[in-house]
Amino acid sequence: MPKKSTRRQFLQTTASTVPLLAAGAAWAQKSDTKSSNNQVTLGMIGMGGHGIGWNMKEFLKVSEARIIAVCDVFQDRREKGQAIVNDAYGTTDCKMYADFRDILARDDVDAVVISTPDHWHVLMSVMAARAGKDVFCEKPTLNIEQGKILVEEMNKLDVVYQGGIEDRSVDQYYRLAELVRNGVIGKLKTIDIRLPPGDAFPFEEEVPVPKGLDYDMWLGPAPYTPYTPTKLGPQEWRNNWDYSGGKLTDWGAHLMDTAQVAIFEELGGPVEIDGKGDFPVGTMANTATTYDIRYRYKNDVEMIVKSGGTGIRFEGTDGWVGCRSWRSDLEASNADILNAQFPRSENKLWPQPPNEHLDFIQSVQDRTTTTYSPADIHHLSTAMHLGNISMRLGRKIQWDSIAQKIRGDEDAEQFLSCPMRAPWTFDA
């Protein structure tokens, strides 16, 4: 089976052409891929709400994919996932596991789908790639250094990697990026993004770990802390630095990605970040509950990210266009903006790809093109992490997107990475 070309290699060889037109053509060709005897076998890791309610549900619709294994540290969740798969296929073939390494050890699993809390994303992806598996993994990374590791390992091992961000194939967000990239609103000045505020939770007393939960495996590389009744709930862990980066890295992964694609910065990032946020005191949560972050890009575009809503709006010299709330209808300063059309040969955005799940399967099958959100999507996570770092420091920071370093700020380095609890490590 031929090796795929990496997105970075493609960009280097097409820098003098209209950006990413050829990549779009590759996606268009990929969307026509037919396969009757090349079914991709999947192991699903993480059977929580998103793992079952979104990723499993969507992969079960893809005829070229076959789920043959599920894994979760909660016994009832893995049993539920196994039952759904077996019912969908009318078989009893799907196996379930408590330890994801048992899936990685199976020679008959082609790819894994990782729907775990964020602190597992990069380590699990790297371990899967080293085991010869292609990887579909939810966003975001846990920190900037792990993002660098992700890109290095996925490119070195030459696996197919898809970051779980659906927006690049969602009508509203694809269209927004297309309109802005093609200059319909003139020279872009500002991007205004609203994201949900963070949550805070009262302290709880330690309780025994419930039967049917491998709590030590849930923690994995994160620091050990006692088990409490609601700690593992999706909003509780998401608002704690040990496991995630708050609502900024959750919702920001969607709308900030659309913003960076729209300004040709999907492989770049901001040069200056100035964030202010409120952090809860005396609670089990410690990520920002409210935030106001100003990002400046090298093209002098300012991106303003504030808590309160799920909208995005682009303002340019010739008008504005936006989406008031998540997946709502597009609005603009005049109808001509929304009705603009671009010949395919001149369009500065790739053709709209299929949804993230079909896109991944087709990439695994043909292996000559990359997915629409490859490992380089970590540049998006970097922008979000930089917002958190600026808020935690309480001051402005400068970012070198080429060197992938914060400029002249030793205090900021403490937030670029975090230690991993033994025995978990990236060492091969």
The predicted pLDDT at position 313 comes to 98
Containing domain of residue 64, as a range? Answer: 7-169+365-374
- DSSP secondary structure code for residue 168 in this structure: G
List, in sequence order, every beta strand (DSSP E) within 107-241: 111-114, 134-138, 161-164, 188-195
DSSP 160: -
Please check whether residues 253 and 156 belong to one and the same domain: no
With respect to residue 152, please indicate whether it lies within any of the assigned structural domains.
yes
Q: Mark residue 183 as left, alpha or beta (left: phi above 0; alpha: psi -120 to 50; beta: remaining).
A: left
CA distances from 367 to 336, 376, 413 (A): 40, 17, 37
Q: In sequence order, which residues have a C-beta less than 8 Å from that of residue 165 and are 6 or more positions away? A: 139, 253, 254, 257, 356, 373, 377, 380
* pLDDT score of 21: 40
Name the strand (E) or helix (H) holding 405: strand 405-406
Is the domain of 104 the same as that of 201?
no
Q: For position 163, which CATH number holds?
A: 3.40.50.720
pLDDT for the residue numbered 335: 95
Angle formed by the axes of helices 378-393 and 252-262, to 10°? 110
Q: What pLDDT is stored for residue 37 in this prediction? A: 55
Does 60 share its domain with 34? yes
Q: Which pLDDT score is estimated for 299?
A: 87
Per-residue pLDDT of the chain in tens (428 residues, 90 and over written 9):
333 433 333 333 333 333 344 344 344 444 443 334 589 999 999 999 999 999 999 999 999 999 999 999 999 999 999 999 999 999 999 999 999 999 999 999 999 999 999 999 999 999 999 999 999 999 999 999 999 999 999 999 989 999 999 999 999 999 999 999 999 999 999 999 999 999 999 999 999 999 999 999 999 999 999 999 999 998 899 999 999 999 999 999 999 999 999 999 998 999 999 999 999 998 999 999 999 999 999 989 999 999 999 999 999 999 999 999 999 999 999 999 999 999 999 999 999 999 999 999 999 999 887 899 999 888 889 999 999 999 999 999 999 988 889 999 999 989 999 999 999 999 97
End-to-end Cα separation, the chain, in angstroms: 25
Give CA separation, 33 vs 36, 37, 113, 229, 236, in Å.
10, 12, 21, 47, 41
Neighbours of 173 (CB within 10 A): 25
Sign of the dihedral defined by the CA atoms of residues 153, 120, 291, 322, in that order = positive
Task: Find the CATH number of the domain harbouring 315.
Answer: 3.30.360.10
Domains of the chain: total: 2
Using a cut of 0.95, tell me whether the model's pTM lies above it: no
